Structure 1
């Protein structure tokens, strides 16, 4: 099983390539949907990494794959500028895990 990246920018793609992760740089919704479906159909892909910006282009498709796919893990990753969902995420996770508000 391998990791595969779908990115909206070349910097994230190059960083992942340096770590040995293959992928594609995409910008349009139809390109993203096609690439996601190709990754799902590829039996060698075990983890699909997709930047938050691309995941926001087709949220219904991503959600259905996350809920319906038993072989593949789909993970949304922030890009080089940080994630729109990352602010306060660590504090929120810790608070939920230990039950103490920070």
Structure 2
């Protein structure tokens, strides 16, 4: 049976909190970089803009309205994804800061 002292337990908790914060921070950065600037998203936006231009030239109001709705949905998706990435970064920084604060407090 393992007999850990209180200091070892606190050290393990702080280490786990720091590692979890680091993983959360890196995940947030990856989400922010890959999802908001994705190749697929740029392609959808480009094709939707071309579709809207074609609708304006051919005077197809329904096509322009649908293309506009698609652009709005794409923009909302980018904002939501960016928000998730920023939230993960902030949570990671809070966890790392808490771990550092606990290290300072217990040493």
TM-score normalised to structure 1 length: 0.20
Which one has the bigger strand percentage?
1
- 1 or 2 for the larger relative contact order (CA 8 Å, sep ≥6)? 2
Which has the larger share of helix? 2
